[in-house]
Structure formats: structure tokens, C-alpha cells
A and B are shown apart, each in its own frame.
Chain A
Amino acid sequence: MLSFVLRRTAAGVVLLFVISVLSYLLLSIPDNDVGRQLLGNRAAQDLVDAKNAELGLDRPVLAQYADWLAHALRGDFGTSWFTGEDVLQSITTRLPVTLSLMVGVTLVSAVLSLLLGVWAGVRRGAIDRFVQILGVVGYALPGFLVTLVIVVVFAVRLGWFPAIGYIGFSESPSGWLSTITLPIASLSVATVAGVSQQVRGAVIDVLRQDYVRTLRARGLPPGRILFRHVLRNAAAPPLTVLGLQFVGMLGGAVLVEQIFGLPGIGSMTVTYTTRGDIPMIMAIVMFTVVGVIAINLLVDVLIGWLNPKARVS
């Protein structure tokens, strides 16, 4: 198990490196005269050149990248070209917002998906049809449209929650809850829709296995067979999908944070990518990719822990 985690971590580091090279090179393709953008059209050319030299932009792209990498490895992601903010600091102040959103969505959807999926898979009939329709609708509607509807209904019409803004947990836990509830609900719709379908399918599949019949023939009660044997063997597909959904969730967070005005990584992405602020964009890409790799590793470890056969391969 340990060697598996180490191997996967090593593969993740390689992946991270490749993505960093590709991103940096691609971001350097457009001939944005950053110095000119910063100093304005009327600035003298030698001042612009000096600004570019100050940012290191007069050097070959690979040298710029090597410089960035050397600093990044030491935890120094530089400063924003356009605002002068410290990159790492702006990310770390915004990370808790996005993280609490992600963790909230993951928890909510794991619990709801499990309940709905198992219920549908075991009972079939009406509840099964309901979960399937929910799956179709939840999957079909673009996430931000769902968000808009939720805002209109729960914030604008009913006024139960604020439509916009964010209160930190340390400031006021109840305020935090009221500002984060609608964003979490918005993002959870699609995840619950996707994952509950997987739970349902996997449960139905495992219930048909020969060993479930044999367990019944041994006289074990159905509840015990379901919770000890069926759920464990049915865990892999929904977990895998949850991992995939996490990647989608990051994209969803961009829109949701923008709509609710949450000061997270997502809304920050929109601001900085518009201007081609390479230090900021690089840091955002690196942080999200690390998140994705970590989640995928976690999912694989969980699956391996639940399923001994997966451990071998």
C-alpha cells in the first residue's frame, strides 16, 4: 500500500511538472507587451524596456520558466505583475473559502448520494424512478443555471439567505453558514445527480452477484449483507465518479463564487486570467492541479483499502 501511494505521488509530481512547463510555455506565446500594458501607451520605449527587464521578460522563455520553477520550489510564487500583490499570500487568503465550499459539497453529496442511491437500488420502483429523473435533470442543467434558479428562489423571492457576500467562519459561524449554504447547495445538485446514479447502478450490480446469494444461503440477514458486503463492493464506481466530479466542481466553483461574490480562488481566476498575469495564473493552475491529484490519490487509496484485489494491480 505504501509503495502504491509513493508511486502514485511520484507520478503526480511528474504530472505537475509537465503541466507547469506546458502552461508556462503556452502562457508565454501571446506577445503581450506587459511593460507597455503597465505603463500605458504614452510611456517612453526605454522605460517600457526597463520595466520588461525588471520583470525578466527580456530573457528567453525557458530561462524565465527555470527562474519561476526555482522560486516556486522554494515556495516563492512571486508577485502579481499588475497589482504587485504577493501571489502566495493572495492565494492562501482565498483558499479557505474555496476549500470550505469543496469540502461542504463533497460531504453533502457523499451522504445524499449514498442514501438516495442505496434506497433506489434496493427498493427499486417509485424511488428508483425519482432518483433516475433527478440524475437526468441534475446532470442536464448547466450548473450556473441551477445556481441562478436557486438564487432567485431562495435569496431573492424567499429571502432565506443572502444572495451575495461571504462571512468567514472565524468571524461568525452562523454568518458563515448562511453565506455558504446556497453555494454548497448549488454545486451539490450536479454531484448528487451523478454520484447517486453510480451508487444505484453499483448496488444493483453487486446484489446480482453469486456471493450475495451464497451469503443469503448462509442465513445472514439482508441488512447485514447490504451494509457489510454490498456497499463495500459497490464503492469503487461512485468513488471514481466523485473524484472526476471534483475536477468539474473546480470549474463550477469559478461560476458559483462569481455569482455569490465569494472571495475564493474561483473568482480570482476570472480576474487574473483576463490580463495574462503569468505569476498569478501559474500559481492558480498549480494549486488546482495539486488539489486534483490529491483527490484522485485519495480516491484510489480508498478503493484499494476497500477492495483487496485493486491493491495488487
Chain B
Amino acid sequence: MSETVEKAPAAPARRPGGALRRLLRNPLGLIPAVLLAAIVVAVLLAPVLSPQDPDTADLADSFGGAAAGHPLGFDSAGRDLLSRLLHGGRFTLGGAVIALLVALALGVPAGLLAGYRGGRFDAAASWTVDLVMALPAMVVLLASRAILGNTVWVLMVVLGVLVAPSFFRLVRGIVAGVRGELYVDAAKVSGLTDLRIVARHVLIVVRAPIIIQVALVAGLAIGLQAGLEFLGIGSGDTPTWGAMLNEAFQNMEQAPSMIVWPGLALGLTSASLVLLAGALRDALEDRGDRPAPARPRRRPRADTPAATAPADADGAERADLLSVRGLAVSYGTKEVVHGIDLDVRAGEIVGLVGESGSGKSQTAFSILGILPEGGRVSGGSVTVLGREIVGLPEREHRALRGDVVAYVPQEPMSNLDPSFTIGAQLVEPMRYKLGISKAEAKRRALDLLRQVEIPDPERTYGSYPHEISGGMAQRVLIAGAMSCDPKLLIADEPTTALDVMVQAEILGLLRRLQAERGLGVLLVTHNLGVVADLCDRVGVMHDGRIVESGPVERVLGEPAEPYTRRLLGAVLDDVPARAPWRPAQKETA
């Protein structure tokens, strides 16, 4: 069975003490923790707290209600309910503890070994685990009772074996992920032994998920254990919560309220465990410790008022195709783009260049109206073909996407839906936007694939994204952007993920298509070489502002702003090559 269920590992917090404090500050953590502690203490102190021996029966009291010294009343045999509840908890909770210990002892070391070493042990262990997981636990427990006899503790060991796979798979999955991490490679190169790597780098990652899983499995074990007892299996005459529920169920007609107390005890314990697991997850994981999936967006200087943009050199007259004035983009109260001006005319390629976090992609997304969750245009005006799109209803904005404004993304592979063929992904928008027939759409799609210089259009048409290379995927995405004859193309780092030679080909392709179709292009990039290659005009973005803009030759040739100069100064194109190595090289500086 696939491993898709397991969540990606999240790094735990560094100071466990801090996690505990966070846990107890969360009411959803504090309440279950207190409840569980109270239940455990009460059960442990059963001999002291019980009004009488749990097996003392007096038929005169049978089904008796609450009485002095017997707050919960009596059962069918006249035994004190409170005493039985307290003593019964010992078996129910004790059994769960045994099952947990067995499961941990089996699952965690095997999972660590299988995940870290892989190979034959992994294969054998995984096969065994699949086998155990194919067994219905209840049937096995019932069958084991036939084999092992009627002892609750032995059955709990079996239950432990049955739930061990959940720990194994959890630990194995996480460890196999960690094993591929560069920091583990770095630790190996640093000369750490395997044991030390596991102790320092691996255990710290699996610790939090294991703790959470313990709480979940404990709930499960208690439920199964009580279920067995309810069936009258495993406990004989000893008082347990499950057996009490069974007795209550048998006598539901005479004493319907008897079901309440054992039911409450069981329900509260299980619910507390699961709630605690959830709160633990929040306390241990949600600390922002997880490895950043991408470069973090640099925080713009806070509280700078949405300054009106610096007067743009060519900003006075608004371009007919795309014109941006004073555009501001915010996430919550945090502004990331502070009022920028931008124009793209038909048949013109405008570059928007900047480093990561400069706000260039946010600008592109706001023009398309596809800002990520939480982001919004917080000021300014954007016109496409003279029509204001800031504040436009989503439906009308959507109508512009695809056939007026098109988009070429950065990362080719992740931008194709893995479940559909290339052909299906090209045909769908055309059929929807242009209302053409399937056959017509297919003909156009094949034509587009030919136009983006894909060698075997028919084959690519029928391929899935994972069957083609990154360069091909980017051509497909360009074909997709062209499919509904847009007027304006927004390309967000269209060549960043590609090899230089593929990049040169894609740049050539973009240049050709642009010229043929008279497209206006807004090209977002961090690469000044790409700007020099393709663009007519360029805006240099820094910290959410356009610091300089103008014709490419002017901006790259005679930069006016210090930031542009700094950027150009970091380019290594014209730096002389390093001199050859000489053995007599002086070591002193």
C-alpha cells in the first residue's frame, strides 16, 4: 500500500520545555491533560478511593440508586459501581499501556533501521508489516484468545503487535525522508558515526510524530481493549469498563442509566487522548521550524505608507495594453509592493527585474488576479486594454484570463496537472474559452505544439507530464499560454528552472512568437542577461518599489540608481578569468 497517508515530517521544536508550556497554555491541551491526569490518579488510587471491594455483592442492593457512600449506585448483583469503575480502569488503562509499550518496542527500532538502512531489512520488515496490516485486529484477537487463553495481559501483547505497524510505517517514512536530506550527508562528511547521526539528526525529527502517535494509538488500544471486554472476552470476572458496559447493556431495560458512568469514563479518556494528540501536534510542530520550502519572502520595511510611486520617466501617458499606476499589494496588514508604475504596449517586451523578495512575482500575480491566499491588491490602478481591473468582480476578471492576458510560470513540471495528458490540458481551456469542438481544439493543440518546436507533437499530445523533460514541459506551457490568442503575456521567470542551453532555445522561441503575434510581454526575471537578450524596456525592482526604469540599453548601460549599479556590479560576465594556478603561490596575503 502506498505511503501517501503519512504527513511530511515537520521538525520539532528545539526546547521540549517550551513545547510543554505551549501545550498547557492551549485550553485544548490543558483540559484533556488535566482530565487524563485526574483519571490516571483516580485509577491508581482505586484501593484508597473505593467505598468498598469491587466484588462485594449484596443482592438487596441490586440496581440500587445512589446512596450514602455509594455515589454511583449499584449494579445487577448489587456491587458498588464506583468501586468497580475505579478498579476496572486499572485493567483498561494498564492493558493499553502494555499494548503501547510492545508496539513502541517493536515498531520504532524496526522503523528506524528500515528507514535509515533500507535494503533487505527494509524489504522484509515492510512485507511483514503489510501482512500484519492485512489482518483484522478484532478477528486476530478473538482467534488468539482461543490459542493463548483468557488472560487480558497476553491479549494486550498481541494487540501491541497488531498496532506496531502504525509506528513502523510512521518512523520508517520520516527516517527515509530525513536520510536523503543534505544535512545528513553533511553530517556523514563531518565524520559522524551512523549511531550519532541517528541520535542527533534523526531522532529529533521523529520524536514529535511518535509522541502524537502514542496518544492516538493509546486511544485506539483502549477502545479495542474495552471492545474485547464488552464481548466478555479476556477479563473473566474482573471488573473492567468494557465488562461494565456489557452488563449495563444487558440490563438496559431495568437500569438505563448504568451505561452512563463506564461510557463516560471510556469516552472521556479516549477523547482526551486524541485532543491531547492534536494539541501536542500544534505545540511541537507549528513553530515555523519546518525547512522553508522556498526562499522566504524578505519582509518589507513595515509601516511605510503606500507611498505614491516615483514619477516614472514614461509614466505620464498610460499604455493601451497594460498600464499599472501606484499598485500596492498586501498580505494582511503587511504591504509587499508599495505603489509601482508600469506600462506594456502592444508588441513590446518589458522586463521586471529584481532579487528574491523584491515583489516582482506579486506584481505579476496581481495583474493576472491570481494572488495566493491572503494576498490582495491594496491600492492603485491596473488597466488592461483600457479597462480597469482592480475591483473588477472575479467572474469578469476571469473572462480576461487566457484570451486577453496569458501566463507562463516558472517551474515547468509543477505547473502541469500530473493526472491529465498534455493534450487534455491544452484542449480544455480552448474548448471553454473559445467554445470550439473537441476535434477543432485538438487540431489547434497539435498546431501549437508544432509552433513551440516540439519534435513529435502527436506523441507529446498523448503523453503525461512526467513522461517529458523540463524543457519540453516549458514549451507545452508556452503553447498553453498562446492557445487562446492572448494580447498580453505575463512570463514569471520562464527560464529559471532550465539549463542554459534550453534557456537560450526558450528565449528564442519567446522572441519569435512575440514578433509573429505582436504580443505585449511582461517578463519577470532575476537574470540581467535574460533582460538584455529579450527586453525593450526594463524596470528594476527592489523592496517592493521600482527604483529605476527605462530602455534596456540605457538602464544596463548607464544605470542611474545605486541599486541598479550594485546589481550590475555583482554580474560576473566581464570579470577577468582567474589566473592559472602556480605552485609557488605565496601563502601570505
Surface stretch bound by A, among B15-23, B39-47, B140-148: B140-148
Determine whether the beta carbon of A143 is less than 8 Å from that of B428: no
CB distance from A154 to the nearest CB of B (A): 13
Determine whether the beta carbon of B146 is less than 8 Å from that of A289: no
Which residues of chain B (216-249) have a CB below 8 Å from chain A? Answer: 216, 219, 222-224, 226-227, 230-231, 233, 245, 249
Q: Contacts A149-B263, A285-B143, A309-B464: A139 and B274 contacting too (C-beta < 8 A)? A: yes
Determine whether the beta carbon of B401 is less than 8 Å from that of A216: yes
Inter-chain CA distance A285–B1, complex, in Å, is 21
CB distance from B296 to the nearest CB of A (A): 17
A72 in contact (CB, < 8 A): no
CB distance from B15 to the nearest CB of A (A): 27
Determine whether the beta carbon of B263 is less than 8 Å from that of A148: yes
Which residues of chain A (187-217) have a CB below 8 Å from chain B? Answer: 198, 208-211, 213-217
Q: Contacts A27-B146, A214-B407: A307 and B418 contacting too (C-beta < 8 A)? A: yes
Determine whether the beta carbon of B409 is less than 8 Å from that of A273: no
Inter-chain CA distance A269–B428, complex, in Å, is 53
Taking CB atoms, residues of chain A closer than 8 Å to B139 are: 250-251, 254, 269, 273, 284-285, 288
Which residues of chain B (123-180) have a CB below 8 Å from chain A? Answer: 130-131, 133-139, 142-149
CB distance from A182 to the nearest CB of B (A): 14
Q: Known contacts A140-B219, A248-B136, A306-B419; can you find 7 more A-B pairs with CB under 8 A?
A: A137-B271, A141-B270, A213-B409, A217-B370, A255-B138, A284-B139, A289-B134
Determine whether the beta carbon of B409 is less than 8 Å from that of A254: no
Determine whether the beta carbon of A250 is less than 8 Å from that of B230: no
**Chain B count of residues within 8 A CB distance of the other chain:** 75
Determine whether the beta carbon of B480 is less than 8 Å from that of A218: yes
Can you list 18 pairs linking A and B with CB atoms under 8 Å apart?
A19-B131, A27-B147, A30-B146, A30-B147, A140-B219, A144-B226, A144-B227, A210-B415, A214-B480, A218-B407, A219-B429, A219-B484, A244-B133, A254-B142, A269-B142, A270-B233, A274-B145, A303-B2
Q: Which 6 A-B pairs have the closest CB atoms?
A: A251-B138, A219-B402, A142-B223, A217-B407, A219-B401, A140-B274
Surface stretch bound by B, among A88-96, A111-119, A170-178, A228-236: A228-236
Which residues of chain A (61-116) have a CB below 8 Å from chain B? Answer: none
B267 in contact (CB, < 8 A): yes
B308 in contact (CB, < 8 A): no
**Chain A count of residues within 8 A CB distance of the other chain:** 78
Q: Chain B at the A interface: mostly helix, strand, loop or mixed?
A: helix
Inter-chain CA distance A198–B372, complex, in Å, is 23
Which residues of chain A (207-263) have a CB below 8 Å from chain B? Answer: 208-211, 213-221, 224, 228-229, 232-233, 236-237, 240-241, 243-244, 247-248, 250-252, 254-255, 258-259
Q: A residues engaging B (CB < 8 A)?
A: 15, 18-19, 23, 26-27, 29-30, 136-137, 139-145, 148-149, 152, 156, 198, 208-211, 213-221, 224, 228-229, 232-233, 236-237, 240-241, 243-244, 247-248, 250-252, 254-255, 258-259, 269-270, 273-276, 281, 284-285, 288-289, 292-293, 296, 299-300, 303, 306-310, 312
Instruction: Tell which of B136, B149, B409, B420 touches A30, judged by Cβ atoms closer than 8 Å.
Output: B149
